[in-house]
């Protein structure tokens, strides 16, 4: 059921359900949140490569932000717009190049490197697939 609610300044806000994310304002909020996550990833991956080494803050935060984007997208909420799949694949290539170049210096235990690589690549690839699907569904 769609509801139109008048605001104190005379405008109208669209509300299409009782859920926390079922309104224009919530969609705007999600759009801003997603924009911040995307910007953080872009800045980290496009910045100093040392900042995304596996033992650095952004080296950990980037895959976390990708996973958060996937979680938000999976809910189907209005306001969640993913970056283009080509952008995500570019992030993957840049991030993984740094990761591959530096992971051995951390002396990971046997098996960790292969397992972690699969998780990282899988996360980037799932986001690229979701972005491609979103692009197809929105024309």
Domain boundaries, the chain: 25-138
Q: Residue 5's pLDDT is what?
A: 54
Distance (Å, rounded) from C-alpha 139 to C-alpha 126? 20
Distance (Å, rounded) from C-alpha 47 to C-alpha 98? 12
Whats the size of the chain, residue-wise?
139
The model's pTM = 0.87
Q: Residue 1's pLDDT is what?
A: 46
Residues of the chain with pLDDT under 70: 1-13, 139
Is 1 within 8 Å of 17 (Cβ atoms)? Answer: yes
Q: Residue 46's pLDDT is what?
A: 97
Distance (Å, rounded) from C-alpha 16 to C-alpha 18? 7
Distance (Å, rounded) from C-alpha 133 to C-alpha 139? 10
Give 15's strand partners: 3, 23
């Amino acid at each position: 059921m769609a509801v139109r609610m008048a605001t104190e300044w005379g405008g109208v806000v669209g509300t299409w359900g009782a859920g926390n994310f079922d309104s224009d304002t919530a969609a705007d909020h999600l759009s801003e949140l997603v924009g911040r996550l995307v910007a953080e990833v872009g800045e980290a991956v496009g910045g100093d490569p040392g900042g995304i080494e596996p033992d650095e803050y952004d080296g950990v935060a980037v895959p976390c932000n990708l996973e958060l984007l996937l979680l938000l997208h999976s809910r189907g909420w209005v306001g969640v717009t993913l970056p283009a799949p080509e952008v995500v694949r570019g992030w993957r290539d840049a991030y993984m190049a740094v990761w591959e170049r530096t992971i051995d210096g951390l002396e990971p235990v046997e098996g960790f490197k292969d397992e972690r690589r699969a998780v990282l690549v899988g996360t980037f690839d799932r986001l690229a697939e979701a972005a491609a699907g979103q692009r197809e569904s929105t024309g």
